[in-house]
Amino acid sequence: MPAAAARAGGVTTLCTMPNTDPVIDNVALVEYVLRRANEGSDVHIRPFAAATQDMEGRQITEFGLLKAAGAVAFTDGDRAIADANVMRRALSYATAFDALIVQHAEEPSLAGGVMNAGALATRLGLTGIPSAAETIMVERDIRLVELTGGRYHAAHLTTAESLNAVRRAKQMGLKVSCGTAPHYFTLNEHEVNGYRTFAKVSPPLRSEDDRRAVVEAIRDGTIDVISSQHTPEDPEAKRQTFERAAHGVVGLETMLALGLQLHMSEGVPLLTVLACMTCNPARLLGLESGALEPGRPADLVVFDPAAPWIVDSKKFRSKSKNSPFDERPLQGHAVRTVVDGHTVFVRRVES
């Protein structure tokens, strides 16, 4: 279950994507998600709402009503808002409510492949997705932010060029932020050698140069958020040919350790890494959590940064086990997770 995996990973707040069935694009569904969350979860759950109706990229949703009902941001999930005029309207309309638009930054007409474009894709006989698919979308959207004054977040960036575009936008004072996920700063495209479908993600794993660029963007503050990009898939969905296999990895239980690896192996300051997982996302989403201050929710994790362990996906609390890190040695894990002042997870000491 996601909540159990979150507790074990030291995650106190989960943000759900709107790409459910039915799509979360109206007030009743936002209220339903929050009501069910409060009834059955001991971690906080906050819903993203769809930016466009039924996530079809045509008509924007009612941002004001959805935000008032409890939606913390607006996105079409793993679908890009491809129509520039629709994105312009979304950014402009969102300014009335100080709402955040979150984009899956891939130009759809260029994103029909299954892995990073390049020599490796050619050798494996797989259709590649060029890094330009991401850069073109980010640069277009930044122009629209400049035009509208809206708040914009590019989720899960993977390329040096798109990160440079965000870097320039921030220097211009635009309301632009971005995020990435642990597999983009720890793995590169060579993980798909042998047609390893557990390394198939969207956007795809990129070159080693791009991986290093992601690390540097975390270091210098260009990247604001590290999220798990937790995407559970059943074994049958992954045990397909590479072209047919589903995208996605589970990431809640490895995110903290992989973030700590940034500090220990790459020299990124520990507080910089932790800010990307705590106060930065809380600030962008308007959440009260994310900081240890009087009057704030007592949501915290006690972790042991030196604890060595071997990833064993069979022991994950998540029902799905699709992790590219299975059997890898990591260091650091959550010892105790506290939500609203109540301990919801304590790690047992294995003898």
Whether 50 is covered by a domain: the verdict is yes
Q: What is the extent of the structural domain holding 122?
A: 2-346
Q: Determine phi and psi for 60, rounding to 5 degrees.
A: -70, 155
Whether 190 is covered by a domain: the verdict is yes
Identify the band that residue 1 occupies on the pLDDT scale cut at 50, 70 and 90. Answer: low
The pLDDT of residue 40: 73
Residue 336, CA distances (Å) to 3, 62, 124, 127, 316 in order: 15, 39, 44, 44, 16
CATH of the domain at 183: 3.20.20.140
Mean pLDDT, to the nearest integer, of 210-218?
98
Please tell me the total count of domains within the chain: 1
Whether 351 is covered by a domain: the verdict is no
Identify the band that residue 333 occupies on the pLDDT scale cut at 50, 70 and 90. Answer: very high
When computed from its CA atoms, the radius of gyration of the chain, rounded to whole angstroms, is: 19
Distance CA 351, CA 329 (A): 18
Distance CA 235, CA 59 (A): 35
Whether 193 is covered by a domain: the verdict is yes
DSSP string, 193-238: TTT-GGG--SSPP--HHHHHHHHHHHHTTS--EE---B----HHHH
Residues 324/191, Cβ–Cβ less than 8 Å: yes
Mean pLDDT, to the nearest integer, of 41-69?
97
Whether 89 is covered by a domain: the verdict is yes
Q: What is the pTM of this model?
A: 0.96
Q: Is the dihedral of CA 169, 165, 284, 72 positive or negative?
A: positive
Whether 335 is covered by a domain: the verdict is yes
- Hey, what amino acid is at 102? V
Whether 275 is covered by a domain: the verdict is yes
Whether 331 is covered by a domain: the verdict is yes
Distance CA 17, CA 47 (A): 7
